[in-house]
Every structure is written in C-alpha cells, then in structure tokens.
Amino acid sequence: MNARDDTQKPHFVLVPFMAQGHTIPMIDMAHLLAKHGAMVSFITTPANASRIESTIDRARELNLPIHFVALKLRCVEVGLPEGCENVDKVLGKEQVKMLTDAYSMLHKPLVSYLHAQSNPPSCIISDLCQPWTGDVARELGIPRLMFNGFCAFSSLCRYIIHQEKIFENISDDNRLIVLPGFPHCLEVSKARSPGNFNSPGFEQFRAKILEEERRADGVVTNSFDELEPLYHEAYQMKIGKKIWSLGPMFLCNTDMDAMESRGDKTSVDGKHCLQWLDSMKPGSVLYVSFGSMAHTVFSQIEEIALGLEASRRPFLWVIKSDNKASGIEKLLDEFEERIRDRGLIIRGWAPQAMILSHPSLGGFMTHCGWNSTIEGISCGMPMITWPHCAEQFLNEKLIVDILKVGVPVGVQNITARTMQAHEVSIVKRCQIEQAVLKLMGKDTDAEERRMRARELKKKARQATDRGSSYSNVRHLIEYAMTREIKPEVQ
Ligand code: UDP
C-alpha cells in the first residue's frame, strides 16, 4: 500500500476495450479523474500494460492515485495464442469473437480485486464494447457509465440507426436513408455507418451491448459541450440519460514526455522527429496518418506517395510497420530519396500527440477516427478527411459540413482493409494532390478554414481550462460520491 492515503477518495474503475483507439482516451480519462482528486483502478491485461509501461511509470513517479491493474486474460482457453490481448493483434472476426469472450471472463477476477480494496469502488466507467461490466456494477451495487468513443453527432446517428432499425430489409448497402428524428436532414447508407458487430456469430454480444447501453446509468464522451451543442442535446434527449462530455481529454497531456509515449512504444526517436519539425516553416507541414487499425494496401501507398510528391508540400507520413506488402521497402526507399528535403516517413507507432502540437504543423490528413479528429481540433488543424470505415464517414460530415474545417479527399467507398472490409477501392494520386493543395493553399477558402480551426482550438482549450469539460469532471466525481443505487426491477 502506498504511503499516500487513497481510501477517502471516490474510486472509479475504468475498463477500456483493448484496442488503441479505445484505450488511449480512457488512459487520459484516468489522468483527468486522478488530477481532480479521485482514485482510479485502470483495468488492463499484462500484454497491454507492457505497451504503456512509460505511462504507468510516470503516473507512479508523479504519485497519481491511478492503479493499473493487469488481470490475466485466458487467451488459450478461448482459442487465442498466449499474449493475443488487443484487437490489433488478432486476425479476422473469429478471433475478435474469442477476444470478447476472453474479456468477459475477467468478471470474476475483477470482482475479487475490487472486493479486496480498502477503498470500495464508487463507479465503473467502461467501454460500450465491454458490456459484461454492467453485471459487475450491479453485483457491487454501483453505477455503470458507458464510455462512448464517438462524438455526440455520430453517437446520435448510431443510436437512431439501431433503435429504428433503419437498414432492416434494405438489401442495397449504398442506398441513402434519411435518419428519422435527427435534428436536421441527414442521409446515411449502411456501408458508411457504424456496424455494431453485425456479423454472424456476434448476435449474443450485440444484444448484450444494446441491453447494457439501455441499462447504463449515463454516458461519458470525449467531446466538449461547445463543439456540437445541437447533437449533444438531441443525443441526451434520445437516450434519456445524463451525458458527461469531458473532452478533449487529450489536452491533459501537457508535458513532452507524456505526449511522446502516449498509447504505445514509438518507432521513432522523439528528438529526431522534433528536430525535423523544428527545421520546417511554421504551419507548413501536412501530417498524414490513418490511426491504429486501418491497413493500407500497396497500390494505395503508391498513390499517396505520388500525390504527396506532386503537391510539393512538406509532410510527415505514418505507415504501419506491419505493412509488409511486397515491394514496399523499395518503393519507400526510392521515394524517401526523392523527397528527403521536405518529407519524413515514420514506419510504425508515431508520437501523434507531440507531432500535432508542433508549430510547424499546418494540416492533418486523417481517417476521421474520433480520437484523431478531436486531437486535430484541439491543435487547430484544418483536415483532409479520408474516412476508411464505420463511423468515420459520419465524423467526416461533422468536420466538413458542420464545423467547416475539412476538405474531403473524395472517398466513395471503403479504402482500407479492416475487419469489416476486404475489398477496397483506391483514391487516386491526383485527388490526393488536389486536396493537399486546397487545404495547404493561401486562397480565401483555405484562410477561412484555418481561422475556423483556430477558433475551435481556442474553444477546446477553454472547455478543459476551467470551462465546461473541467466542470463536467467535477460533477462526475460528485455524482460518484453521492450516488445511491436502487435495485433494478427485473
Ligand atoms: N495514434 C498514435 N500514433 C500512431 C497512430 C495512432 O499516437 O502512430 C493514436 C492517435 O493519437 C489516437 C489513436 O491512436 O489517439 C487512434 O484513435 P482513432 O480514434 O483516431 O483511430 P483508430 O485507431 O481507433 O482507428
């Protein structure tokens, strides 16, 4: 036990879904709650814990009341190789199913761990995709809040899609349907909407997610009230539950070390990356990254390379290290030689938080994952939107049509291999070049886009700096301290 006394603090139990895009914001959430005086048990597994070692070490050095609890995942028992503990390590849908089974087997160990604590838990905040935690919360008689990694705009769309079953009996995945009950006219197609584990084999899991979503005591999001007030209000009304928007939670990473090692072990020397960024003109560099999951095929890599080259703009491009497509090394070696005066390629995990915060950054080509989007917004980045799958197409609408800080690259269909999609179409080099020139250009449209992006950055920082998100963290802690759970009527 620490010398520090945590026993009087409200105790939050955070259970992320173990995919980087889900875990990273919950690590930030742990820091936020701890900085506001709460104690946090952050539930992870051994292999996932080793990926965030430096974050764990730093929390310990700073004496933050965050306990990283690595519960053993019974991989082999469900048919997975030992250590296969994260969605980015599994192959195909069957293994994802095995992984979700293994997570649900954490129920007993988690309850045992929590029973052994001298400070009993006050509240569980768990990912939408960890629905078994609803049973844990009821067993302990504490509230379960659902963390929804989406923004309010996309959450509301997703909620209506599933509640109203709008795609039921629609055979054409590309047919556009008007979303009933959305605050304004919005058309969506099945192919460009979040899937909610629709594949065969996931029926029970999907049903459990929806049931626990209904039974959850509230929702926590990584957005902020001023960013999308219309959709925040409408979503809150629809679900009839309180929503706490705590974002952008990314802004709790204030020192360079925290930013450099956020989420995983980086593949690049942070100093080298900084020196390169320092050598570029302010606002001149385009950052190109498609998050942690999307796999870009070789022919698309080639088009991106040629499109970036033709644009003649400085860029920093992240390519996944497990992309071992035949010919990729040769292609990139030759490409690097040609663009060495103005381009940097990172093969593997990049220190995205550090890069986006650098003054030489002027734009972000993104797959519109919500974390990347809110990080881009926090850093005042105009964005080239290149959604790859699921709710990213909805986020694109928010970025381009509502917030007006984006230029679409012009994606018509799925462009990267994911769990849902194996057939991909290719965005051509000329589309990429044009989008880069438009975003990084100097005309009135580009300047106005930049101005709006700077304005959003200001609002984001106001929200976390004693504004709405700051207050929401405090309210959430008060809620956890005072909440008494009444037994549910079955
Ligand atoms: N990220 C990073 N370095 C990388 C790739 C991704 O730090 O090389 C982080 C990024 O900052 C974000 C998260 O991983 O916090 C990706 O989440 P997002 O929702 O954008 O996309 P996903 O990976 O879930 O598709």
* 409-414 mean pLDDT: 82
Ligand 1 atom nearest residue 292's Cα: 23
The Å distance, Cα 372 to ligand 1 centre, comes to 6
Ligand 1 atom nearest residue 375's Cα: 11
User: Would residue 20 count as lying in a domain?
Assistant: yes
Q: pTM for this one?
A: 0.95
Domain that holds residue 79: 3-252+464-482
pLDDT band per the 50, 70, 90 thresholds, residue 324:
confident
Please report, for the domain that includes residue 330, its CATH number: 3.40.50.2000
Q: How far from chain centre, in Å, is Cα 412?
A: 23
User: Would residue 97 count as lying in a domain?
Assistant: yes
188 shares a domain with 44: yes
| CB-neighbour burial class of residue 310 (10 A; exposed 0-12, middle 13-18, buried 19+) | middle
177 shares a domain with 119: yes
Q: Give the C-alpha separation, 472 to 243, whole Å.
A: 9
The Å distance, Cα 20 to ligand 1 centre, comes to 7
226 shares a domain with 268: no
240 shares a domain with 279: no
472 shares a domain with 455: no
Q: Give the C-alpha separation, 97 to 90, whole Å.
A: 10
The Å distance, Cα 291 to ligand 1 centre, comes to 4
The answer to which of 205-214, 371-380, 406-415, 429-438 has the lowest mean pLDDT is: 406-415
- CA 169, 146, 461: angle at the middle one, nearest 5? 110
Ligand 1 atom nearest residue 263's Cα: 7
269 shares a domain with 229: no
pLDDT tens digits for range 153-181: 999 999 999 999 999 888 998 899 999 99
pLDDT tens digits for range 49-100: 999 999 999 999 999 999 999 999 999 999 999 999 999 998 888 999 999 9
Buried b (16+ CB within 10 A) or exposed e, 313-336: bbbbbbbbeeeeeeebeeebeebe
Q: Give the C-alpha separation, 278 to 182, whole Å.
A: 45
Our mutation pick for probing the ligand 1 site, out of 266, 357, 371, 420, counting the most ligand atoms within 8 A of Cβ, is 371
Q: How many domains does the chain contain in total? A: 2
Ligand 1 atom nearest residue 350's Cα: 8
3-state secondary structure of 89: helix
Q: Give the pLDDT confidence score for residue 308 in this predicted structure.
A: 98
468 shares a domain with 457: no
Q: Give the pLDDT confidence score for residue 490 in this predicted structure.
A: 44
pLDDT band per the 50, 70, 90 thresholds, residue 232:
very high
The overall average pLDDT reported for the chain is: 93
User: Would residue 487 count as lying in a domain?
Assistant: no
219 shares a domain with 274: no
74 shares a domain with 199: yes
pLDDT band per the 50, 70, 90 thresholds, residue 1:
very low
Indicate which residue's Cα is closest to atom 6 of ligand 1: 291
User: Would residue 81 count as lying in a domain?
Assistant: yes
**Ligand 1 site residues, Cβ closer than 6 angstroms:** 20-21, 24, 262-263, 289, 291-293, 318, 349-350, 352-353, 369-372, 375
Tell me: pLDDT of 333 over 70: yes
262 shares a domain with 232: no
Of 127, 96, 168, 98, the closest CA to residue 13 belongs to 127
Tell me if ipTM is over 0.90: yes
User: Would residue 489 count as lying in a domain?
Assistant: no
The Å distance, Cα 17 to ligand 1 centre, comes to 14
User: Would residue 196 count as lying in a domain?
Assistant: yes
3-state secondary structure of 418: coil
With the C-alpha atoms ordered 431, 192, 156, 96, is the resulting torsion angle positive or negative?
Answer: negative
383 shares a domain with 325: yes
User: Would residue 270 count as lying in a domain?
Assistant: yes
The Å distance, Cα 317 to ligand 1 centre, comes to 14
Our mutation pick for probing the ligand 1 site, out of 323, 372, 374, counting the most ligand atoms within 8 A of Cβ, is 372
196 shares a domain with 320: no
User: Would residue 375 count as lying in a domain?
Assistant: yes
